[in-house]
C-alpha cells in the first residue's frame, strides 16, 4: 500500500531523512515510531503531499508521488495531531456540507455518509451541537470521521492521541481498533504503550533511517531478553551500585522504588540477586521476572537507554 525507497530530505544543514526505506502492507495497522527529531513528521508531510523529498521515491497504491497527473488525495485520509474546525458549525454540517462536497459527493450520498460516520465515531447524539463546545476527545473523533469521509484505502494518523487525557485516548484508540481490516493505517506516535496496544507492525526510525521493521509479536519475542523487577519499601541505597557490578547484570535502571535489571543468565541472577538483597537488609516488596515492553526495545534500538 505504501512503499518508501531511499528517501532523503534536508533542511539547510539538517538531514531530516537519510535514505529512509519502508513498506506498509495492505490491512496493517503500522506503528511508526521514533524519538524527537527522528524524521517522523517530515515523512508524514511527504506522504500527504505537503513536502517534497530531495531524492528517493514514494509509491502509494502503485501511484508514484510527484509524477505528472498523479493525484493521491482520493487514496488517503489524513488526521493531523490537532484537527482544525470552524467552531460555529455543527458536526453534521462540517461533514455533510463542507467535507463531503470536497470529494464530489452528491447531497444524498453526503447525508448518508455523514450519518454513517457520526454513528461510527459515537457523535450521533452530538450531531447538532456546535463544534466549539466539543471536548478535545470529541474533536479528535470528528477529525477521524473527516479523514474517513471518502472511504480512503489508506489512513495517515499523525500523533492522534498525544494531546488527550486517558479517557480521550481510550476512546480514540478503541475507534482505531474498529477500523482494523477496513483500511490500512499508518500511525505516527511517540506513545509506545498505544502502539503495543493497537498496531500489528512496528517500524522504528532514528536519525532519518529505518532501524527496524517487524510484526509486533515477533519483535517482542525477538528481543525478549529477561528482565528482573525488584520493588522495595524504601530506597535502594548503595545496593543499586553494587548490583551493577555483578557479572550476570547487563544494565540497571531505577524508577522510584523499583529497579529493572537486564541480565544474561536468569538462573544465576535469581540466586545472586536474592542473596545480595538478603544481605543488604532491604525490605523487598516484589521480586519478579518480566518480559520486556516495547518501550524497553525502543530505547535499546534508538540508543536512548539509560
Q: What pTM was estimated for this model as a whole? A: 0.78
Regarding whether 264 and 209 lie in a shared domain, the answer is: no
What are the residues facing 259 on neighbouring strands? 230, 254
Name the pLDDT band for 183 (thresholds 50, 70, 90). very high
Please tell me the distance from the alpha carbon of residue 177 to that of residue 287, in angstroms, as a whole number.
34
- b vs e for 260-290, b when ≥16 Cβ sit within 10 Å of the residue's Cβ? bbbbeeeeebbebbeeebeebebeeeeeeee
Regarding whether 272 and 148 lie in a shared domain, the answer is: no
- Average of per-residue pLDDT across 182-209: 88
Question: Is the residue at 304 inside a domain?
Answer: no
- Average of per-residue pLDDT across 149-170: 88
- Average of per-residue pLDDT across 37-46: 90
> In the predicted model, is pLDDT for residue 305 greater than 60?
no
Regarding whether 140 and 6 lie in a shared domain, the answer is: yes
Regarding whether 281 and 216 lie in a shared domain, the answer is: no
pLDDT reported for residue 224: 64
Residue 263 lies in domain: 225-290
> In the predicted model, is pLDDT for residue 292 greater than 70?
no
The 10s digit of each residue's pLDDT in 95-133 is 999 999 999 999 999 999 999 999 999 999 999 999 999
- Average of per-residue pLDDT across 48-52: 90
Question: Is the residue at 70 inside a domain?
Answer: yes
Regarding whether 119 and 8 lie in a shared domain, the answer is: yes
Positive/negative CA dihedral, 169, 172, 177, 183: negative
Question: Is the residue at 299 inside a domain?
Answer: no
Closest CA to 97 of 84, 83, 82, 113: 113
Please tell me the distance from the alpha carbon of residue 103 to that of residue 231, in angstroms, as a whole number.
56
- Average of per-residue pLDDT across 184-208: 88
Q: In what order do the strands lie in the sheet with 76-79?
A: 76-79, 154-158, 184-189, 29-33, 201-206, 209-215
Regarding whether 134 and 41 lie in a shared domain, the answer is: yes
Regarding whether 187 and 47 lie in a shared domain, the answer is: yes
pLDDT reported for residue 159: 87
Question: Is the residue at 296 inside a domain?
Answer: no
Question: Is the residue at 41 inside a domain?
Answer: yes
Regarding whether 240 and 101 lie in a shared domain, the answer is: no
Name the pLDDT band for 306 (thresholds 50, 70, 90). very low
Question: Is the residue at 127 inside a domain?
Answer: yes
Q: How many distinct structural domains can be found in the chain? A: 2
Regarding whether 91 and 26 lie in a shared domain, the answer is: yes
Question: Is the residue at 279 inside a domain?
Answer: yes
Name the pLDDT band for 163 (thresholds 50, 70, 90). confident
Q: Read off the CATH number of the domain in which 264 is found.
A: 3.30.70.920
Please tell me the distance from the alpha carbon of residue 232 to that of residue 199, in angstroms, as a whole number.
34
End-to-end CA distance of the chain: 37
> In the predicted model, is pLDDT for residue 167 greater than 50?
yes
pLDDT reported for residue 130: 96
Q: Which of 111-115, 157-161, 163-167, 198-202 has the highest mean pLDDT?
A: 111-115
Positive/negative CA dihedral, 101, 105, 107, 111: negative
pLDDT reported for residue 94: 97
Query: Comparing 140-144, 152-156, 297-301, which segment has the lowest mean pLDDT?
Result: 297-301
Regarding whether 143 and 259 lie in a shared domain, the answer is: no
Question: Is the residue at 181 inside a domain?
Answer: yes
Regarding whether 236 and 216 lie in a shared domain, the answer is: no
pLDDT top residue among 292 and 118: 118
Boundary-marking domain end, from 194, 221, 248:
221
Q: Read off the CATH number of the domain in which 191 is found.
A: 3.40.50.300
Regarding whether 176 and 275 lie in a shared domain, the answer is: no
Amino acid at each position: 500500500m505504501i512503499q518508501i525507497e531511499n528517501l532523503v530530505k534536508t533542511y539547510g544543514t539538517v538531514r531530516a531523512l537519510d535514505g529512509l526505506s519502508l513498506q506498509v502492507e495492505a490491512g496493517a495497522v503500522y506503528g511508526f515510531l521514533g524519538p524527537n527529531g527522528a524524521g517522523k513528521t517530515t515523512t508524514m508531510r511527504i506522504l500527504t503531499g505537503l513536502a517534497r523529498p530531495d531524492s528517493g521515491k514514494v509509491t502509494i497504491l502503485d501511484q508514484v508521488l510527484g509524477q505528472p497527473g498523479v493525484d493521491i488525495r482520493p487514496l488517503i485520509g489524513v488526521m493531523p495531531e490537532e484537527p482544525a474546525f470552524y467552531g460555529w458549525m455543527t458536526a453534521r454540517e462540517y461533514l455533510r456540507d463542507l467535507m463531503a462536497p470536497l470529494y464530489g459527493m452528491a447531497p444524498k450520498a453526503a447525508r448518508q455518509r455523514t450519518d454513517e460516520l457520526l454513528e461510527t465515531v459515537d457523535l450521533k447524539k452530538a450531531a447538532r451541537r456546535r463544534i466549539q463546545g466539543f471536548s478535545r476527545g470529541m474533536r479528535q473523533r470528528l477529525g477521524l470521521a473527516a479523514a474517513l469521509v471518502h472511504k480512503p484505502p489508506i489512513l495517515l494518523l499523525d500523533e492522534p492521541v498525544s494531546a488527550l487525557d486517558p479517557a480521550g485516548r481510550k476512546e480514540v484508540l478503541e475507534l482505531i481498533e474498529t477500523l482494523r481490516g477496513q483500511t490500512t493505517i499508518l500511525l505516527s506516535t511517540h506513545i509506545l504503550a498505544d502502539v503495543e496496544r493497537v498496531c500489528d507492525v512496528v517500524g522504528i526510525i532514528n536519525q532519518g533511517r529505518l532501524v527496524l521493521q517487524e510484526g509486533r509479536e515477533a519483535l517482542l519475542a525477538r528481543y525478549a531478553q529477561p528482565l528482573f523487577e525488584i520493588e522495595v519499601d524504601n530506597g535502594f541505597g548503595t545496593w543499586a551500585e553494587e548490583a551493577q557490578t555483578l557479572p550476570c547484570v547487563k544494565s540497571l535502571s531505577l524508577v522510584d522504588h523499583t529497579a529493572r535489571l537486564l541480565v544474561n543468565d536468569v538462573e544465576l541472577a535469581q540466586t545472586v540477586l536474592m542473596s545480595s538483597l538478603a544481605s543488604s537488609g532491604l525490605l523487598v516488596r516484589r521480586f519478579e521476572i518480566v518480559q520486556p515492553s516495547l518501550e524497553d526495545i525502543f530505547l535499546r534500538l534508538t540508543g536512548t537507554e539509560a
